[in-house]
Structure 1
Amino acid sequence: MKKTAGRSRFTAIETLYRLQKSHTFVSRIIDRVASENDLNSQDRHLVMNICYGVLRNRDYLDYLMARLCRQPVRKMKPFIYHALSVGLYQLFCLDRIPASAAVNETVNGVKMARLSRPLQGFVNGVLRESLRQRNHLPAPDGVDDTGKPFLNHPQWLTNRWLRRFGRKTMQAVCLANNREPVLCLRLARGISVDHYRHILKTAGIDSLPGEYAPDSVILSHYHGAITEVPGFRKGLFQVQDQSAQLAVGLLGPFRERERILDCCAGVGGKTILASVLSAENSRIIALEPSRLRFRQLQENIERMGEQKRIVVYNTALQDFFRSSRLLFDKILVDAPCSGTGVVGRQPDIRWNRKENDLVVNQTRQLQILEAAAARVRPRGCIVYATCSLEEEENEMVINTFIARNQAFQLTDAKTYLPTEAHCLMRGPYFFPLPSQRVDGFFAARLVRVS
């Protein structure tokens, strides 16, 4: 395919346009549209940067459009709305792209959609007018005409956080979610933080040791492909936020010859860490019903060299239990949830979720937790975890479960965390809120006492 001016911007606009109609994962749409337009890896990365940035700054970009356009934002043609979002994001939120290139490439993206010349001229005019008014328009971290900051989250969600956490914390969470998150690595067994940071320094990559998880390294300013980070193919690390790493530690203390189950394994980050932390003669079983994630789970386990210690099944928990009567010493329930703790890392989540989803999720979460509980040995433990900040999916699930299952007790998670992470507790729960250092997370440790 011949190179066409504006192809990457067209891909970004088209991705956001399709996202509005389908409400699927934005990463999947980016992959599909980028393949259709034959983008190289560098242009794909630019598209992802733009799309994620637009989603993290939607309220701010809508405000700019309202100031610059006579036509109400809600009455714009969807493709033109997304084109203006892409253009304004480059002009006001990125400093690596020259203004002239941002305008011209965005207009060329509209041309690729074969929209009329008047619409092309409209986009061009609005973007150039924004440059003329730049000194009179607020920055992304500024305030609107009423003095309120741009939260860039749906109101139902900010209202919930306001009631639960207070205004200051709610705004801090939103601000953290609106920034590009850092890349956190969890090092493989036998790889020290100092040694790996030396490898990164030799490659010209800045890094910091993790603040809370002992085997973590932070790459604050890395913007390339993860496969190009030194040691990826050799299995020296896996991508895993400090919150997720710490949650796996709640399965401790680890003893000889244990049988451990990860019943919602996903792509295997927590499964692999459970294998690393457990005794050499313990056995890890991981379940993942999705075929796509199951393939990624297998690839990650092999890349990290843990394939001899982990047995994987492409099945759901209830189906596995129909064919197996195994009991377990430890079970990790990383339950499907709304994901409101990771909307900084996955910004499309905030716009795709509805408040009614929380009660629906709770029913499914309780079903999984109670099914897992039936297979825990006496004095065994369950770690129930989500990447949600919502009570319906967290404390309410635990309270309902304990009321129904008198054989289980909630234990204080602090005992199983490093001292540095004790500040991430909320009562007996491991409950970090989103920040520039960690993702939002929730974990509870339950022990079968009889």
Structure 2
Amino acid sequence: MMQKKGMTARGLALETLVQWTGSGKPVQGFINRIIHDSGLKNEERQLAVMLVLAVLREQEYLDLLISSFSKTKLRKMKPLTLAALRIGVVQICRLERIPDSAAVNETVKALKKMRQPGWLCSFVNGTLRNIARSKESLPSPEEAGPGGTPVLNHPVWLTERWQEHFGREQMQAICRVNNTEPALCLQVNQVRTDQETLAEQFSEQGIRTEPGSFALDSLILQEQRGAVTDLPGFTEGLFQVQDQAARLACELLRPFKEQGRYLDGCAGLGGKTCILAALLPQDASLVAVEPDQRRSRLLQENLQRQGLSEKVETVQQGLQGFAADDDRLFDGIFIDAPCSGTGIIRKHPDIRWNRQPEDLVSSQKTQLALLQTAATLIKPGGVLVYATCSLEPEENQQVVEQFLTTNPAFALTDCRDFLPASAASLVDAQGFFAPLPTEEIEGFFAARLVRSAL
């Protein structure tokens, strides 16, 4: 891979933010294409990604600071100008490891290498230097809002609905955690190792870990910032990256049957597929359905790496097509439905800026269709788990309620009865598994539905 001449971390971050702005698409695709495929050294690529994600997490706060130092209104700035200022300010005010001089000089240098006019470079340079000189007296995000209130760094429509659903204090707590960088959470592959052995292996390499508070096979790496593929045991398939919430949701298919037949109806890259394959009895079988060619290939690679490919039949097809072509019935089906992703904003900070209120209703049709199709594939007495990484009732409770109304053969069961005691607090009064985002776990939702045996 050839490195483009003169390319820098700030330049890559600038280009990524500018191309992403207004696209409505996940920023990760831009990061992959612009940063990861750049040919720059690993440290520079990591810095570029860190800058992009830091800007997205603190965008509202950064804009408040820029507005107080710039005579030009933000709405009149070109996307490149605003992105450069945001990148500069996030380094000055939020990334303590970067000297102010480097933050200013390297950001301006990136603009010059993009052949921006001298007056624009001078404007950005002057604005950033003024902010750097005043940074000791600048308000923190906790007090920079109106009347000294916290800056939430989320669109108003989202914070208003969270306040309505969860209360003001809980809403602010969710926003606060979403504005921080998450620790790396790994799920230990119990087929090949155990939590204690893997923790010792990391410790020998100077990598500090701690067990997850909720899921029994989880390891948390608070200080890990490098590539996951460089961690000891990755190539050997000793673990995978997966949050505790997703790990726990897989438990809801219990009790697993000897010689049982199971289906992952929306397999994606295979995170939950691998967990299910490791949980199942040795003589049980698992089918993983994924229509996208790229994701299907990565699903197979993940299964292969973790030594689970022989236990899983992968099908590159959508669930509806699979149901039409295959007459098998299953003892358990896991549906991890596509959704708004508002529970995983901490990991994917662009979600907050990409979503609109109408998105929450538009996804209902797809989610219900997946559930209805899955219902035709369940044996009498079988278990159907519906899951999302959303906090929104339209995609969660309302979907389950509509499904139960039209499918009287299914009944809701209490998730608490199938989770470890450490996760009991994550189940709500209705019996749904519904953790809100915290420092330790992502926001998630899962319902456990059982078809009557008759």
Structure 1-normalised TM-score? 0.98
Does the 8 Å contact 2:4/2:38 carry over to 1?
A: no
Take 2:120 and 2:279, find their aligned partners in 1: how far apart are those partners?
58
Take 1:425 and 1:143, find their aligned partners in 2: how far apart are those partners?
35
Take 1:410 and 1:252, find their aligned partners in 2: how far apart are those partners?
14
* 2:410 is aligned with 1:405: no
**Letter of the structure 1 residue corresponding to residue 131 of structure 2:** S
Shift, 1:138, TM fit: 1.3
**Letter of the structure 2 residue corresponding to residue 393 of structure 1:** E
* 2:438 is aligned with 1:435: yes
The correspondence for 1:193, drawn from 177, 195, 198, is: 195
CA gap of 1:313–1:351, structure 2 versus 1, over 3 A, is same
Take 1:123 and 1:291, find their aligned partners in 2: how far apart are those partners?
44
Shift, 1:324, TM fit: 0.6
Partner of 1:56: 57
**Letter of the structure 2 residue corresponding to residue 14 of structure 1:** E
Take 2:416 and 2:71, find their aligned partners in 1: how far apart are those partners?
55
The correspondence for 2:371, drawn from 363, 366, 369, is: 369
CA gap of 1:419–1:342, structure 2 versus 1, over 3 A, is same
Shift, 1:37, TM fit: 4.2
Write the deviation string for residues 71-90 of structure 1: whole angstroms up to 9, x where unpaired: 11111111000000111111
Say which SS state the counterpart of residue 409 (structure 1) adopts. Answer: strand
**Letter of the structure 2 residue corresponding to residue 375 of structure 1:** L
Does the 8 Å contact 1:410/1:447 carry over to 2?
A: yes
CA gap of 1:36–1:345, structure 2 versus 1, over 3 A, is closer
Say which SS state the counterpart of residue 229 (structure 2) adopts. Answer: helix
Shift, 1:21, TM fit: 3.3
Say which SS state the counterpart of residue 446 (structure 2) adopts. Answer: strand
* 2:135 is aligned with 1:131: no
Which residues of 2 match residues 238-249 of structure 1 at below 5 A? 238-249=240-251
Say which SS state the counterpart of residue 250 (structure 1) adopts. Answer: helix
Partner of 1:160: 161
Partner of 1:276: 278
Which residues of 2 match residues 30-429 of structure 1 at below 5 A? 30-34=31-35, 37-189=38-190, 190-427=192-429, 428-429=431-432
Shift, 1:145, TM fit: 4.5
Write the deviation string for residues 395-446 of structure 1: whole angstroms up to 9, x where unpaired: 0000000010000000000001110101111121000000110000000000
Shift, 1:337, TM fit: 0.3
Say which SS state the counterpart of residue 271 (structure 1) adopts. Answer: helix
Does the 8 Å contact 1:7/1:112 carry over to 2?
A: no
Shift, 1:40, TM fit: 2.4
CA gap of 1:2–1:225, structure 2 versus 1, over 3 A, is closer
Take 1:255 and 1:328, find their aligned partners in 2: how far apart are those partners?
11
Does the 8 Å contact 2:142/2:149 carry over to 1?
A: no
Does the 8 Å contact 2:383/2:448 carry over to 1?
A: yes
Amino-acid identity (%): 45
Where structure 1 has 5 or more consecutive residues not aligned to the other structure, the ranges are: none
Does the 8 Å contact 1:73/1:81 carry over to 2?
A: yes
**Letter of the structure 2 residue corresponding to residue 169 of structure 1:** Q
**Letter of the structure 2 residue corresponding to residue 333 of structure 1:** I
Shift, 1:139, TM fit: 2.2
Say which SS state the counterpart of residue 416 (structure 2) adopts. Answer: helix
Take 2:259 and 2:3, find their aligned partners in 1: how far apart are those partners?
59
Does the 8 Å contact 1:284/1:310 carry over to 2?
A: yes
Take 1:396 and 1:2, find their aligned partners in 2: how far apart are those partners?
50
Take 1:361 and 1:21, find their aligned partners in 2: how far apart are those partners?
21
Shift, 1:35, TM fit: 5.6
Does the 8 Å contact 2:183/2:223 carry over to 1?
A: yes
Write the deviation string for residues 325-358 of structure 1: whole angstroms up to 9, x where unpaired: 1100000000000000001100111100111011
**Letter of the structure 1 residue corresponding to residue 338 of structure 2:** P
CA gap of 1:361–1:3, structure 2 versus 1, over 3 A, is closer
CA gap of 1:304–1:2, structure 2 versus 1, over 3 A, is closer
The answer to which of 214-223 and 16-25 deviates more is: 16-25
Take 1:185 and 1:236, find their aligned partners in 2: how far apart are those partners?
10
The answer to which of 27-36 and 69-78 deviates more is: 27-36
Where structure 2 has 5 or more consecutive residues not aligned to the other structure, the ranges are: none
Say which SS state the counterpart of residue 148 (structure 2) adopts. Answer: coil
Take 1:167 and 1:143, find their aligned partners in 2: how far apart are those partners?
18
Does the 8 Å contact 1:6/1:105 carry over to 2?
A: no
Does the 8 Å contact 1:54/1:86 carry over to 2?
A: yes
Does the 8 Å contact 1:11/1:47 carry over to 2?
A: yes
Does the 8 Å contact 2:141/2:151 carry over to 1?
A: yes
Does the 8 Å contact 2:55/2:86 carry over to 1?
A: yes
Does the 8 Å contact 1:6/1:107 carry over to 2?
A: no
**Letter of the structure 2 residue corresponding to residue 227 of structure 1:** T
Say which SS state the counterpart of residue 384 (structure 1) adopts. Answer: strand
**Letter of the structure 2 residue corresponding to residue 160 of structure 1:** R
Take 1:57 and 1:407, find their aligned partners in 2: how far apart are those partners?
47
- What is the Cα-based RMSD across aligned positions, in Å? 1.3
Does the 8 Å contact 1:366/1:401 carry over to 2?
A: yes
Take 1:161 and 1:389, find their aligned partners in 2: how far apart are those partners?
9
Take 2:140 and 2:197, find their aligned partners in 1: how far apart are those partners?
40
Shift, 1:322, TM fit: 1.5
Which residues of 2 match residues 3-42 of structure 1 at below 5 A? 7-34=8-35, 37-42=38-43
Does the 8 Å contact 1:5/1:105 carry over to 2?
A: no
